[in-house]
């Protein structure tokens, strides 16, 4: 993977003065699970020729790092099902070693972690996010349309044994999460893991009305406080979560609230899909094609110019609307965007 260096090294700043320092880079739209809030049961994935090669992904990552990105999260789909993915992590370990990248991490469903945890740690990954919405094996099979909870728990154990800090992500779902939130808190905190709770977002048609899934985190927090004492803390992890410490456990709970408490004022993130589309806002339809330039001889300076134009159009914020029939407010699915 040959390095190229853009001549422009100024930071990425949008028209509202927000400095972008965090890139979420999707490496595949494919996944070995079919979570009900993320995908439809019968998915049609992009042609493999439309997906960026590992060299193309590495080039974009290096370009954004040169422009001031210091946190890079690899996402999917499920990133660990991408053939050769470890090579990308090995390539990106260099900017970790030279200090130009502060953190390299990933979000995973955990199914492949038992196989990859040691190698991820070797390449410089220090912490990961694992999606885990339930500790009930039957409910897990239902939510993932056939997945194995035991396999994910094995992966979490392997990650911890490899020295990786693990944060659990749980999507708050009506008629389910409230009933087992105490178990999720205890499971995470007994293992020194942070638990982040996320409101479901209207991204893509998944065959279920989002309103039937939606559980506002204000309501879930009230339910948590029936059992636990929450103390708000100013800690930030680089993402949109607001944190509270549980007095009884000493552990943290993060609340990611795209509906009930908009977190856009200090947004520092952009996303690139596996097919090479730059999205400067998760909740808007803005899109900038980077793949065409990558494949038609565009220089790094050419890419910098269109990235800067895209940053200039980064919206002030998203405006998610949840109402009956609003499932396709944003046409692209979460699995395409990378969360």
Q: CA–CA distance from 55 to each of 21, 84, 241 (Å)?
A: 22, 11, 32
73 is an annotated ligand-binding site residue? yes
26 is an annotated ligand-binding site residue? no
142 is an annotated ligand-binding site residue? no
1 is an annotated ligand-binding site residue? no
141 is an annotated ligand-binding site residue? no
Rounded to 5°, the CA angle 178-256-248 comes to: 55
Distance CA 12, CA 17 (A): 10
| Strand, helix or coil for residue 18 | coil
Q: CA–CA distance from 339 to each of 143, 177, 179, 197 (Å)?
A: 18, 20, 25, 14
43 is an annotated ligand-binding site residue? no
Buried/exposed 276-292: b ≥16 CB within 10 Å, e otherwise: bbbbbbbbbeeebebbe
314 is an annotated ligand-binding site residue? no
77 is an annotated ligand-binding site residue? yes
269 is an annotated ligand-binding site residue? yes
31 is an annotated ligand-binding site residue? yes
270 is an annotated ligand-binding site residue? yes
Find where tokens 């955990």 sit: 110
226, two tokens: 């029936």
Contact criterion met (CB below 8 Å) for 177 and 215: yes
Which of these, 200, 203, 192, lies nearest to 157 by C-alpha position? 192
10 is an annotated ligand-binding site residue? no
295 is an annotated ligand-binding site residue? no
152 is an annotated ligand-binding site residue? no
Q: At a CB cut-off of 8 Å and minimum separation 6, what does 107 contact?
A: 73, 74, 75, 76, 79, 128, 129, 130, 131, 169, 338, 339
State the binding site for [4Fe-4S] cluster.
Answer: 31, 35, 38, 264, 267, 281
Q: Binding site for GTP: which residues?
A: 24, 73, 107, 167, 269-271
Annotated binding site: 24, 31, 35, 37-38, 73, 77, 107, 131, 167, 201, 264, 267, 269-271, 281
The binding site for S-adenosyl-L-methionine comprises: 37, 77, 131, 201
């Amino acid at each position: 993977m040959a390095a190229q260096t853009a001549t422009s090294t100024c930071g990425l700043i949008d028209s509202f003065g927000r400095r972008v320092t965090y890139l979420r880079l999707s490496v595949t739209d494919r996944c070995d699970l079919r979570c009900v809030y993320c995908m439809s049961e019968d998915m049609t994935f992009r042609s493999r020729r439309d997906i960026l090669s590992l060299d193309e992904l590495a080039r974009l990552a290096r370009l954004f790092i040169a422009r001031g990105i210091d946190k890079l999260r690899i996402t999917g789909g499920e990133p660990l099902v991408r053939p050769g993915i470890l090579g990308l992590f090995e390539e990106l370990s260099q900017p970790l070693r030279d200090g130009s990248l502060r953190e390299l991490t990933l979000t995973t469903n955990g199914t492949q972690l038992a196989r990859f945890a040691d190698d991820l740690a070797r390449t410089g990954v220090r912490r990961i996010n694992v999606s885990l919405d339930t500790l009930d094996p039957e409910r897990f099979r239902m939510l993932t349309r056939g997945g194995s909870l035991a396999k994910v728990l094995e992966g979490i154990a392997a990650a911890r044994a490899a020295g990786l800090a693990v944060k659990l992500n749980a999507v708050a779902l009506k008629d389910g999460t409230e009933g087992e939130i105490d178990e999720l808190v205890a499971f995470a905190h007994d293992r020194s893991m942070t638990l982040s709770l996320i409101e479901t977002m209207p991204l893509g048609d998944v065959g279920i009305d989002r309103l039937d899934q939606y559980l506002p985190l204000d309501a879930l927090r009230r339910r948590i406080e029936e059992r636990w004492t929450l103390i708000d803390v100013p800690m930030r992890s680089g993402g949109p979560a607001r944190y509270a410490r549980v007095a009884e456990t000493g552990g943290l709970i993060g609340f990611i609230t795209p509906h009930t408490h908009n977190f856009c004022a200090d947004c520092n993130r952009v996303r690139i899909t596996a097919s090479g589309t730059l999205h400067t806002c998760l909740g808007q339809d803005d899109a900038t094609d980077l793949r065409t330039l990558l494949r038609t001889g565009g220089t790094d300076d050419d890419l910098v110019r269109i990235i800067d134009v895209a940053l200039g159009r980064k919206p002030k914020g998203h405006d998610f609307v949840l109402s009956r029939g609003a499932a396709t407010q944003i046409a692209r699915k979460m699995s395409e965007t990378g969360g």
